[in-house]
Amino acid sequence: MIELFSRSLLALDIGSSSIKLIELSGGRQKKVRAMANISLPAGVVQNGVIKDPAAVQEQMREFFKANRILAFGRRVCVTLSGNAVLIKRVSLAPDKDKELAEQAYYAAEQHFQHSMNDLEFDFYNIGSLNERGESNVILVGAKREAIDGLIEIVHGNRMKIGVVEADVFALSNMFEHNYGTSETIMVLINVGASCTQVTLVWRGEYLYTREIAIGGNEYTRRLAEAMAVDAAAAEAAKIAVSTFSQDPSEVISRLLSETNDQLVSEIQTTISYYLQGTDNAAPGVPFTNAFLAGGACRVLGFEAALAATLQVPVGILNPFQNIQVNHRKFPADELAIDGQKYGVAVGLGLRNMGDKT
Ligand SMILES: Nc1ncnc2c1ncn2[C@@H]1O[C@H](COP(=O)(O)OP(=O)(O)OP(=O)(O)O)[C@@H](O)[C@H]1O
Ligand SMILES: [Mg+2]
């Protein structure tokens, strides 16, 4: 029997260094059907905003052709990140005169401090209540220009938008699928090329996120400057020492370690700021673990520096922990090194049409 419109969604995490593509199949037990990393030229995507949609579209088109991925007419899930999306968890007191949707809209106007005309607004009622009996709600505002950029690329490749998701929710979704929920606070840290997102979750609920403007590119930039080499050579040196295929020189060691310390300190401040602030929706709940995702979490010494400062166990996420992978198609040794890059894309791939955040 042919099932109409049952083809799975293609998940695309369009990052500043590459697009991560994932297609999952199956019901409860998911399987990876397709997985790929499509490199992007520097500068075409910056801080979550697609600066050059034509270049991204072309790169994708070439890739689909070379890998015989039939994208025509397919539905895709895409993410918004960085400056393109505003997210805030709030608690709204019951109000007999106003619908929750109306209350959420007014709360967003107040918290986002942004013209609501430039935003696509949505909200998600978590379903839980706080200790005052107020509804816990997540407000989401997506910048129209960022959504337009995504639509242009997707339509340009003759595909359709299925789901638009904030990447921090996709990452949390992936985490819950693979690691379950916890009674303590978990911190998910996605170290990308242009930035690092720190997201706090508790009992499977989103609490807070902040973006830090340091990612893999910053390490490369500093190395290039200190070693007086171009970005490609500095990038190669960073990867070589981080994958232990080369011993680091004194300069490389010092620069990576200084940048690690700076990023770690920002992460620590972010976590303490939330836990000690009046906005903390889980007061008194301990923070017990940190999980890493994103390509640059592999930078030499980063994981150890973070564990030493946070004083909790730190581990690298395996987005495929609870997902079947055919290792003849996707070798286990490659995934062991690179798998954490797909954290956001896997979370997106787990989504179904019509899901809400
Ligand atoms: N083994 C490794 N060791 C250290 N750094 C690595 C390694 N592999 C990849 N990286 C770095 O990871 C970054 C790319 O990671 P990722 O694909 O998660 O970023 P992105 O999603 O494109 O960026 P962003 O989310 O910031 O827009 C690059 O800076 C790259 O140099
Ligand atoms: Mg990314």
Q: What does each of the 357 residues of the chain score in pLDDT, given as a tens digit? A: 444 555 678 999 999 999 999 999 888 889 999 999 999 998 898 877 888 999 999 999 988 888 888 888 999 999 998 888 999 999 999 888 889 999 999 999 999 988 999 999 999 999 889 888 999 999 999 999 889 989 999 999 999 999 899 999 999 999 999 999 999 999 999 999 999 999 999 999 999 999 999 999 999 999 999 999 999 999 999 999 999 999 999 999 999 999 999 999 999 999 999 999 999 999 999 999 999 999 999 999 999 999 999 999 999 999 999 999 999 999 999 999 899 999 999 999 998 654 544
Residue 4 lies in a domain: no
User: Can you tell me whether residue 126 is helix, strand or coil?
Assistant: strand
Q: Cβ(21)–Cβ(70) under 8 Å? A: no
User: Is 79 a pocket residue for ligand 1 (Cβ < 6 Å)?
Assistant: no
Evaluate whether residue 1 is within a structural domain: no
Bridge partners, 210 (sequence order): 198
As for how many domains the chain has, the answer is 1
H helical segments located in the chain: 53-66, 100-112, 144-156, 167-179, 216-227, 231-242, 250-276, 302-310, 332-338, 343-349
| Within a domain: 264 | yes
Best mutation site among 12, 14, 17, 255 for ligand 1, i.e. most ligand atoms within 8 A of its Cβ?
Answer: 17
- pTM of full prediction above 0.85: yes
Residue 355 lies in a domain: no
The C-alpha atoms of residue 137 and residue 219 are separated, in whole angstroms, by: 37
User: Are 14 and 78 within 8 A, CB to CB?
Assistant: yes
Contact 80, 166 (CB under 8 A): yes
> How many alpha carbons fall within 13 Å on the CB side of residue 328?
0
313 within some domain: yes
Burial of 115 (0-12, 13-18, 19+ CB in 10 A): exposed
218 CA distance to ligand 1 centroid (A)? 11
Whether residue 242 has its Cβ less than 6 Å from ligand 1: yes
Residue owning the nearest CA to atom 19 of ligand 1: 192
Among candidates 139, 84, 136, which has minimal Cα distance to 108? 139
294 lines ligand 1 (CB under 6 A): yes
Distance 241 CA to ligand 2 centre (A): 22
Residues 340, 320: Cα–Cα separation, whole Å: 9
CATH number reported for the structural domain that contains residue 85 in this entry: 3.30.420.40
Query: Is residue 223, in this structure, part of any structural domain at all?
Result: yes
Q: Which ligand is nearest to the CA of 338?
A: 1
**Is the beta carbon of 16 within 6 A of some atom in ligand 1?**
yes
Q: Could you tell me where the DSSP H helices lie in 24-166?
A: 53-66, 100-112, 144-156
The whole domain housing 87 covers 10-349
Q: Residue 80 belongs to what H/E stretch?
A: strand 75-80
229 assigned to some structural domain: yes
Residue 315, CB-side half-sphere exposure with 13 Å CA sphere: 10
User: Does some domain include residue 306?
Assistant: yes
Distance in angstroms (rounded) separating the CA atoms of residues 292 and 312: 13
Contact 242, 248 (CB under 8 A): no
The two tokens of residue 38 are 């499509």
CA of 276 to the centre of ligand 1 (A): 31
